[in-house]
Structure 1
């Protein structure tokens, strides 16, 4: 579920915050922070680690949107995009989609027989990256999960059901579950699987998620949850979209010591363009947890004047791609030159994977992309 992305023109205005305010939503109470009967995520530090996303997956988890209060007249198009993403991923690995009982039949109809739809885990919306559990492995066949205490991106959206999705998926899979000692979302934290994380301060060092917590305290909680030892921070952009600038629309880890940043046009100078340039500079000057210099690559973003959508909150992020078994699932936006260049870049970075580029313009009007609506379950 995202977000903000470098290259968004100032004329585009707010992202999903604008969209949700227009829908007249009110926030539900947030999920309680940290210690529960399941314990704290730090108990397993050093044993379990969130792997880099190019590992093999057992399945992909997704969620089915059905709220007209959130999506209004855009709901049908968003559902069509979710179904397209699910069917595409299902060509490469199993997909399990959580749907409310009243909309499960429609989900099955649109997704088709290759996607497994379950109605035992109710949802508020489709942003499984942020609501779902973060899966960890120990390198010896063990698998567990961490919940990030999802609170509707700082109580900006109702989340009574989504706040329980992580724990319920863990129970469905039958693996241990713990709550992290912070409030956040999966799209707010990137991991290289070898001890290094990156995130924006605007999303996490924010009183709407973690009031009273210092950056140092958050680092400790993030590293405990992810099995890491270093956090690379970016300032981010405060208050301009519902996520407060999730990192996964702009910067991604490719492997240990390798990262990618979606870059704006040279003529772009809005807050997100400046943020992306700062992220690139910061990553280029960084080292990993093991001291390895970061090899930082560029992924050129599209020209917002040439894309299909004219929606003011539209997210055009190639960087918000999803890795599944043997494929890269990415978006294309109608700027043909930029779309093809993005395809070529991803093909060069992942030469052994198929590159699937999808038109998900309806989902993009909600400020999110493909990575935002998926959550991988790695092979243990």
Structure 2
């Protein structure tokens, strides 16, 4: 593995959309006692359901810490590749490599990671093992990497259409604890915004960046785009939605809808937007809170806190879509119907996610794209 000093754009590499062909999916075994309750045992059972569902469509590699290797191998070794991969937490969509391709060769972008805000509002410390995950993935895959030591980004904060368009949120990328923490730019400033946009255009090889203001209400990642928006095809997308004007998410989603409706993508197309209604509010119970280790002021959330539930945090596989179920009969069924309409040629599979969701997220995967031959 070589560390390259050029950029993907200069070398003719681009980030494909999640709906483009994959070689495999990467996941990390959950085990943190403060992220998940009761030693993560309940979360591990649901993780296995997600991993097995994805494995029906494409190969799955699960990275595991040394102390949990035998546990994961016995649980998933029959349907997934198990590799030792030291980590601080299991959010591999955020910590893993962003793969880019020129159609023949695969390379990885290795962003800096600081646990969603570093010492300003990050969710844990230290995060050095997580910051090495992308590099180790590239080494295992056998591809070269572009390393950015001075630019912080998580994979869940970007979505591309594979044809030159990128969608992000201001609340996340311009936040104080990420690239503003380097001291050169002020948080939420125009200068920081331009710096970030220029960097993303170079390293993802996109031409158009659409900035939405906010993400899902009370999302502890500062509003990752992957929980409120996703591309389903070139020129088509889904947006997290609510029809309840009393819900704090209502104004956020309406503002995002306005932004997307008035935008054109890199090809000059108006976006076709499908609304994906969020489930009824899910609040953290006393029992659930008591099952998590208390490690910092930001985590776990207080009892009664609203958790950032959204069906938009689905995963697009080769021939399939795996999406979270929230034990909400009405909106689980509605989400399935919308996704089947958006992906008519893929099998749509719902998996219960409550225990995973208590840890702050649903399906967390890193996509290893398949270069065309």
1:265 and 1:301 in contact (8 A); partners too: no
Contact (CA 8 Å) 2:242, 2:278: kept in 1 or not? Answer: yes
After TM superposition, give the deviation of residue 298 of structure 1 in Å: 1.2
- Is the 8 Å Cα contact of residues 9 and 201 (structure 2) preserved in structure 1? no
What residue ranges of structure 1 are gaps of 5+ in the alignment?
A: 1-36
Unaligned runs of 5+ in 2: 186-191, 289-302
* Contact 2:216-2:227 at 8 Å conserved across structures: no
2-side partners of 1:242 and 1:338: how far apart? 23
User: Which position in structure 1 is the counterpart of 2:188?
Assistant: none
Per-residue deviation, 1:239:
10
Please say if 1:285 is aligned against 2:262.
yes
The 5 Å alignment of 1:6-85 reads: 38-40=3-5, 42=7, 44-45=9-10, 47-73=12-38, 75-85=40-50
In structure 1, distance between residues paired with 2:330 and 2:284: 11
Q: Which residue, out of 122, 129, 149, partners 2:112?
A: 149
- Residue 20 of structure 1: aligned partner: none
Does residue 183 of the first structure (1) align with residue 145 of the second (2)?
no
How far did 1:194 drift? Answer: 0.8
Contact 2:15-2:101 within 8 A present in 1 as well: yes
User: Which residue of the partner structure matches residue 101 of structure 1?
Assistant: 66
TM-score by length of 2: 0.85
Q: Give the 3-state SS of the residue equivalent to 2:26 in structure 1.
A: strand
In 2, the alpha carbon distance for the partners of 1:94 and 1:228 equals: 28
CA displacement at 1:43 relative to structure 2 = 5.2
| Distance across 1 between alignment mates of 2:238 and 2:313 | 11
Among 67, 89, 93, the alignment partner of 1:125 is 89
Q: Over residues 108-132 of structure 1, what are the superposed CA-to-partner deviations in whole Å (9 max), with x where a residue is unaligned?
A: 222241011111x211111110000
* Structure 2 partner of 1:298: 275
Q: Is 1:165 equivalent to 2:133 in the alignment? A: yes
Structure 1 vs Structure 2 CA RMSD: 2.3
Shift of 1:70: 3.8
The alignment of Structure 1 onto Structure 2 pairs a total of residues equal to: 339
Match of 2:99 in 1: 135
User: Separation in 1 of the partners of 2:259 and 2:135?
Assistant: 35
* Match 2:213 to one of 217, 235, 259: 235
Q: Which has the higher strand share?
A: 2
SS of alignment partner, residue 218 of structure 1? helix
CA distance in 2, matches of 1:128, 1:284: 31
Alignment of 1:218-233 (within 5 A): 218-233=196-211
Q: Secondary structure at the match of 2:321?
A: strand
Paired position in structure 2 for 1:330: 323
Do the aligned residues in 1 keep the contact of 2:61 with 2:81 (CA within 8 Å)? yes
| Structure ranking higher on relative contact order (CA contacts 8 Å, 6+ apart) | 1
Rate the CA distance shift 1:94–1:169 in 2: closer, same or farther, 3 A: same
CA-CA distance at 1:242 after TM superposition: 2.7
Q: Distance in 1 between matches of 2:284 and 2:331?
A: 9
Q: What is the SS of the residue equivalent to 1:236?
A: coil
Give the drift of 1:312. 3.1
Q: TM-score, normalized by length of structure 1?
A: 0.84
